[in-house]
Amino acid sequence: MFSAIQTVYGAQPIDTLRTPAKIAVAFCTLALFMELALKKIVLVAFDQFTDIDLFLMWDILGRNTEDWHVRILGSSAIVRSAHGLPVSVHGPLSEANSADAVLFVSGKEGIPAALAAPDFLPSFELDSRRQRIGSICAGAFILERLGLLSGQATTHPDARSSLQALGLEPVDQPLVCQGNVATAGGCLSALYLVGWLVESWFDVGKRRATLLPVLPAGQQELYDALIGLSIRQGALYDRPSQQETRHGMSSNW
């Protein structure tokens, strides 16, 4: 970090700087530290992505700029939503490999096309030991192809049989968490996926603060309870993985 600061100051040793410059260096150091401390969340999109899946997480997560930053990734500069909205992406798919959290959106036609594209799956080298990884609806099929799922998972109710055909056990609930990997089903369950991510990184308070601004007026307590319940319900399938960890076994989740 100091080498970056010294570059700004022409490699002049910091202890020879005058007081205003020292203050500037301290400020710069703090800013760099804060930037490095921000968690990096990426949302993976593709042509024909389901609009709500991307935009719901984008909006909820985008309201907090102190704890994380969010970027939309795609294999082309512009991806077009299922309903025809063009979205300029912020970076290539490979950026996902260095992110702290990678969330895959869905797309009834977009997912099969993405899975069939020769450059899509090979872009990812994800590691669930150091990254949180999640999916909405048919995004689960990407996680499956990346070898991140086994046992129980959830997806959109209409895609449940397709998940079963892959040897997974589809669960009729909005969130299934296994270690650092979570699948969510039904577009609005993005609420629970985001809630799980924030709560697992921070705490219940940060999760509540993150989701509160989008909850319906007069029903905030009701939704807060429902979100908490759904996250707890999603964690029910986490036990085997947790037990493995307790016994010092490595987990491929």
CA-to-CA distance for 180 and 104, rounded, in angstroms? Answer: 14
Q: How far is the CB of 195 from a copy of itself (least distance, A)?
A: 12
Q: How far is the CB of 66 from a copy of itself (least distance, A)?
A: 15
CA-to-CA distance for 144 and 165, rounded, in angstroms? Answer: 12
Q: Is 41 helix (H, G, I), strand (E, B) or coil?
A: strand
Segment interacting with a copy of itself, rule: CB under 8 A, options 1-9, 114-122, 222-230, 242-250? 222-230
CA-to-CA distance for 212 and 128, rounded, in angstroms? Answer: 28
* For a copy of itself, the closer CB: 13 or 216: 216
Q: How far is the CB of 138 from a copy of itself (least distance, A)?
A: 12
Residue 7 interacts with a copy of itself (CB under 8 A): yes or no: no
* For a copy of itself, the closer CB: 49 or 124: 49
Residue 223 interacts with a copy of itself (CB under 8 A): yes or no: yes
**Token pair in block for residue 214:** 């989008």
User: Where does residue 27 rank: exposed (0-12), middle (13-18), buried (19+ CB within 10 A)?
Assistant: exposed
User: How would you classify residue 240: left for phi > 0, otherwise alpha for psi between -120 and 50, otherwise beta?
Assistant: alpha
Query: Is-contact 123 91, C-beta < 8 A?
Result: no
Q: How far is the CB of 193 from a copy of itself (least distance, A)?
A: 10
Interface pattern 104-143 for a copy of itself (x via CB under 8 A): ----------------------------------------
Q: Using the rule CB under 8 A, which residue among 68, 104, 192, 237 binds a copy of itself?
A: 192
Angle between helix 190-201 and helix 204-211 axes, rounded to 10 deg: 140
Q: Is 189 helix (H, G, I), strand (E, B) or coil?
A: helix
CA-to-CA distance for 97 and 124, rounded, in angstroms? Answer: 6
Query: Using the 8-state DSSP alphabet, how is residue 155 labeled?
Result: -
* For a copy of itself, the closer CB: 154 or 241: 154
Residue 220 interacts with a copy of itself (CB under 8 A): yes or no: yes
Q: Is 78 helix (H, G, I), strand (E, B) or coil?
A: strand
Residue 51 interacts with a copy of itself (CB under 8 A): yes or no: yes
Q: Using the rule CB under 8 A, which residue among 107, 134, 179, 185 binds a copy of itself?
A: 185
Residue 224 interacts with a copy of itself (CB under 8 A): yes or no: no
Kindly list the residues in this chain that would bind a copy of itself in the complex (CB under 8 A). Answer: 50-52, 55-56, 58-60, 62-63, 83, 85-88, 154-158, 171-174, 184-189, 191-192, 213-220, 222-223, 226, 230
